Chains A and B, each alone.
Chain A
Amino acid sequence: MSKEILQQSALELNMDPYKLRKYLNEGERNLFDDILSAFNEKRHKSDRKINQTLIDLISSFASDGYCIIVGRAGHIITRGIKESLLIRMTADHDWRVKQIMENNNLNIRQAIDFIEKTEQERLNFCKRFAAGNDTTDGFDLTINLSRITMNDTIKIIHSAAQIKGLLDYHRSKVEVF
């Protein structure tokens, strides 16, 4: 799940999903911004309220288990869960530019701009939950996709999940006494 988290958060906060997405991708907001938007918007939600809703939602999905969270700072929020596998996918810049050009039908300049803009938005999003810590830290596994095929990537993820015991299909949840 990735976009589903945003949709569910928007539903809980009674906000427009597009507006919430835009809001989350913005840089840091200060108290003055909050006060201004409180006067401006009819259904204003404070920064703290939005962050807490997202944390609660992701934690609840993660606690229920048997799910894969792509992005949305899932690796920061679920860091404390023992039965979790935190994966980071990276690739060389040129490789990523090529992928974006092919998939989104963009020229090289547009692709580079898109990458920079989206990276900044994701960084802003993650910073909300990182509490000053490095947002690219603490992974179980980091895979460089420009040096490995997609099939091999899938095999690596599968093996890692198996090694950590996350793919025991028929087991029941372990109770703690």
Chain B
Amino acid sequence: MSHEITVNDMKIIPTVFHLFLKQYKLKNLAMNNTLMAYLDKRLHPKDSRYPSDNTQPGPVICISREVGCGAVNITNCWLLNLINNLRSKNGKY
């Protein structure tokens, strides 16, 4: 009895491929490999680690500074403040 390949079968292929990778513990290796990273991105369109192409880029803050302004120190202080605020809000970090 022949089995025709349907659209649903095609959908399974990425999942099977990923299971294959997982089984052979290649996941860590895959992260260092551009092709594997690309495939992982394609196979996990809903994974938050790999935002889809429809996602808006950012948010990002860019700081340009003159020499001697100590922008890195200021940024670090602000980040510490932010983390402390988060801690006090959530009770944990």
Interface residues of A (CB under 8 A from B): 2, 59, 61-71, 74-75, 78, 81-91, 95-97, 99-100, 103, 114-115, 118-119, 122, 136, 139, 145, 150, 153-154, 157-158, 161, 164-167, 169, 173-177
Contact = CB atoms under 8 A, between A and B. Distances in A.
Given A64-B51, A68-B79, A119-B67, A83 B57 contact: yes
A71 B65 contact: yes
Given A69-B62, A71-B65, A88-B65, A103 B55 contact: no
A103 B70 CA distance: 10
B75 interface: yes
Q: What DSSP secondary structure best describes chain A's contact surface?
A: mixed
Q: Which 9 pairs of residues, A with B, have the shortest CB-CB distance?
A: A96-B68, A83-B58, A74-B62, A63-B57, A166-B59, A89-B65, A83-B59, A62-B60, A89-B69
B52 A175 contact: yes
B67 A122 contact: yes
A103 to B, nearest CB: 7
Interface of B: 48, 51-52, 54-75, 77-79, 81-82, 86
A141 to B, nearest CB: 10
Nearest to A120: B67
